Structure 1
Amino acid sequence: MLRVITAEAAYTTEELADILGLSIATIRKYNFHFAKIGVQFTKKHGRLAYTNDDVTIFHELKKMYANSEMTLEKAVITVAKKFNLVQIPDTPPNISTEKQTLIIEPLEAQMKEIQSYIDAKI
């Protein structure tokens, strides 16, 4: 029997989960976090179709998340940077001092109220 091998395999979410030894829900959760930073995987006929490169990316994420104390979000960003999937700045954009003050002042007031409440209860 002749078997045609394509250069780029297309795996379903279920197949990717089997390959990586993860649940389908975990693959979907990983996908959600990738999507939050702008990484989209290929779709064929309305369903996700993962390539061999995608398998490598998910394998790296699985390994990194399991062997470190970083959050899933941080692991996804680290993997995305490693594979050049998106350009993510290392530092957040600068916020003017005036905007920082507008953000911080209400929070400081809330913290004082909470501290007063705690002190009163103790």
Structure 2
Amino acid sequence: MLRVVPQERKYSNADLAKILEVPEATLRTYKSHFTKAGITFNKEGKQIVYTEEQVRLFKDMLELHRKGNQTIKECVVTVVNKVQHVESIVKTDSTNTTDETTTYMALEDLLERVKTLENQSSEQRENIEFLNEELSKMPERDKRLMNVIRDIQTVKSELEAAKKKKWWQFWK
């Protein structure tokens, strides 16, 4: 099924001046303020055309000017800042889906790291148990080693005593 996508209506200087109930010269002044604030307007041929969104900007600016004590310039800046704030929120929402994907991938990575750390932890526990068993065998090993050292020392002292005998006591 084919859908007809409605085209956005475009307004000329004269149309917008009638909608806003201001002279065309005043409209050109308003347009220059918006241009200085960073809003761009499209041209068709030699004429500037305004979109529905831009018409809303002009209406909001005039409404602010009529309500408060602000100059046209201040009203334009306020309206443009509101529009930019809304656009940044929309961009933030679109990046949130990317952020969610990135967050999901980061969570998967963290889960993988946790599993790796659990494996390393179990290996370290096994190593600690083995070392504790070896440490419990140490006192027995130390006792045997001390006995061997004492035996060596007695043999050594007997050999030195044998060396100190005089030559005529050799046969004794």
Shorter-normalised TM range: 0.5 to 0.7
Give the structure, 1 or 2, with the largest relative contact order (CA under 8 Å, sep 6 or more).
1
Number of the residue aligned with 1:59: 59
Number of the residue aligned with 2:107: none
Note the alpha carbon deviations across 1:60-117, whole angstroms, 9 max, x for none.
Answer: 01101111101111111000011128x9xxxxxxxxxxxxxxxxxxxxxxxxxxxxxx
3-state SS in 2 of match to 1:54: helix
Specify every segment of 5 or more residues in structure 2 that has no aligned partner in the other structure, as ranges.
88-172
Structure 2 CA distance for partners of 1:5 and 1:66, relative to 1, 3 Å: farther
Greater helix percent: which structure?
A: 2
Number of the residue aligned with 1:103: none
Report the CA distance between 1:6 and its aligned residue. 4.0
Number of the residue aligned with 2:156: none
Number of the residue aligned with 1:38: 38
Note the alpha carbon deviations across 1:16-64, whole angstroms, 9 max, x for none.
Answer: 0111111111111101111122221111112111111111111101101
3-state SS in 2 of match to 1:43: strand
Question: Structure 1 segments of 4 or more deviating over 3 A?
Answer: none
TM-score with structure 1 setting the length: 0.61
1:81 equivalenced with 2:75 (yes/no): no
Using the TM superposition, name which of 11-20 and 29-38 deviates more. Answer: 29-38
- Map 1:109-120 to 2 at 5 A: none
**For residues 5 and 45 of structure 1, what CA distance do their matches in structure 2 show?**
24
Q: Identity, % of aligned pairs?
A: 31
Q: How many residues align?
A: 83
Letter in 1 for 2:54: D
Structure 2 CA distance for partners of 1:68 and 1:46, relative to 1, 3 Å: same
Letter in 1 for 2:31: N
The structure that has the greater radius of gyration is: 2
CA RMSD of aligned residues (A): 2.3
**For residues 30 and 14 of structure 2, what CA distance do their matches in structure 1 show?**
14
